[in-house]
Amino acid sequence: MNQREQQLVGARQVDALNRLDEVKLGLWLEANVDGYQGPATIAQFKGGQSNPSFRIDAGGKAYVLRRKPPGVLLPSAHAVDREFRVTAALHAAGFPVARPLALCVDDAVIGSMFYVMEMVEGRIFWSPALPDITPSQRRAIYEAEIDTLARLHAFDPAGLGLSDFGRPGNYFSRQTDRWTRQYRASETMTIEPMNRLMEWLPTSIPSQKRTSIVHGDFRLDNMIFDGRAPGVRAVLDWELSTLGDPLADLTYFLIIWAMPAGDLNGLAGLDLLSLGIPTLDEATQLYCARAGVESVQDLDWCFAYNLFRLAAIVQGIAGRVRDGTASNDKAAEAGKLTGAFAQLAWKHALKAGA
């Protein structure tokens, strides 16, 4: 395990910002979670930059609590109630998510909205290069990710009771506007490529051909894999999920092939053949075969959009550092990546005709 993984894996003592009233929480859990028996031991997971998550061990069982951060937050962010709703629907349909157990919308319990789900045991990989496993295992893990994404996009939202989970059309337009507003609200310095992207992206949006449930942050470290086989046991972190264009989900997953290894934690520059990792073209073709689509269009535009969106997300982390609501002690470091993502986004925008 490398230094970055050591910083992200496992749990630690709950920090001062996210300290919980354990008495009130215990009473709520006993009243709302079937079979819950205290007393509890509570620790805070190290990973995650958005909604703080906690491990609760009680009565021989393990639970996960995911809460909205305390303090002043950006509008529409940290929607743990939406996470609870979509995971409940997907779990009932047999999709690999942790089983949600109870939602609390009463801020008086621990200071902000939260929900509780079952703890899913397994392995989380933090580096897309997948060190310390064999090439055949790497290939199988990537194929499992792609299968899982195609399976998500195949669901009929109405059949899951999620027809009103988001507006079905103009997804890229709405998201570009949303992340522009979020970026402006969190802006701490002038980054010229971001200004150019915010001008160009709305003028060049590709037409939407499909609508599905989209995860919004579908990446390797948001999945728990079986410890003995490459299968996905649970997809995590549904905060950004909605109804939208599955092309956005797919190309967000694919941008690791465009991002350099190192600070941006991508695959560009690595010997994928020797590692056993599919190439960008192979990964795209695998998804198309699983999802029943002919091809992926507008790849450079989508890369520019997704990298712009990533820049806005990490700028939001920097904004929460500024405002004192950051949920992770590595948040300041993550916020510094805004400029790097913006520069790479603009390179793809130029390829797409900007």
Tell me the pLDDT band of 228, cut-offs 50, 70 and 90.
confident
CA distance 318 to 336: 7
Compute φ and ψ for 65, nearest 5 degrees. -110, 130
Question: What would the two tokens of residue 103 be?
Answer: 């939602």
Q: Model confidence over 67-113: pLDDT tens digits? A: 988 654 455 555 899 999 999 999 999 999 999 999 999 999 999 99
Global confidence as pTM: 0.90
Residue 2: its pLDDT value, please? 40
Tell me the pLDDT band of 19, cut-offs 50, 70 and 90.
confident
> How many Å separate Cα 83 from the centre of its chain?
11
CA distance 322 to 319: 5
Q: Which of 185, 150, 157, 190 is nearest to 171 (CA)?
A: 157
Residue 16: its pLDDT value, please? 73
Q: Model confidence over 247-277: pLDDT tens digits? A: 999 999 999 999 999 888 999 999 999 999 9
CA distance 94 to 109: 31
What separation in angstroms does the CA of 285 have from each of 99, 254, 269? Answer: 32, 12, 21
Give the residue, 17 or 84, on which the prediction is more confident: 84
CA distance 126 to 1: 10
Query: How does strand 61-67 pair with strand 212-214?
Result: unpaired
Query: How does strand 232-235 pair with strand 223-225?
Result: antiparallel
Residue 73: its pLDDT value, please? 47
Q: Model confidence over 328-342: pLDDT tens digits? A: 555 556 667 899 999
Residue 195: its pLDDT value, please? 97
CA distance 259 to 321: 25
Residue 232: its pLDDT value, please? 97
Residue 79: its pLDDT value, please? 81
Residue 333: its pLDDT value, please? 65
**CA angle, 305 then 147 then 150, to 5°:** 50
Compute φ and ψ for 153, nearest 5 degrees. -70, -15
- Kindly list the domain boundaries of the chain, sorted by start residue: 3-118, 135-351
Euclidean distance between the first and final Cα of the chain, in Å? Answer: 41
Helices 171-186 and 192-200 meet at what angle, rounded to 10? 150
Decide: helix, strand or coil at residue 270. coil
Q: Which of 246, 326, 302, 247 is nearest to 77 (CA)?
A: 326
Assess contact for 287 and 339: CB atoms under 8 A: no
Q: Model confidence over 279-328: pLDDT tens digits? A: 999 999 999 999 999 999 999 999 999 999 999 988 887 776 666 655 55
Assess contact for 264 and 307: CB atoms under 8 A: no
Residue 323: its pLDDT value, please? 62
Q: Which CATH architecture has domain 135-351?
A: Alpha-Beta Complex (3.90)
Helices 171-186 and 299-323 meet at what angle, rounded to 10? 30
What separation in angstroms does the CA of 340 have from each of 60, 262, 328, 350? Answer: 45, 12, 20, 16
Tell me the pLDDT band of 4, cut-offs 50, 70 and 90.
very low
Mean pLDDT confidence for 110-127: 94
Q: Is the pLDDT of residue 236 over 50?
A: yes
What separation in angstroms does the CA of 173 have from each of 84, 200, 307? Answer: 26, 12, 15
Q: Model confidence over 154-206: pLDDT tens digits? A: 999 999 999 999 987 899 999 999 999 999 988 888 899 999 999 999 999 99
Looking at residue 123, what DSSP letter applies?
A: B
Out of 3.90.550.10, 1.10.10.10, 3.30.200.20, 2.40.50.100, the CATH code matching 3-118 is 3.30.200.20
Compute φ and ψ for 327, nearest 5 degrees. -95, 0
Give the residue, 92 or 132, on which the prediction is more confident: 92
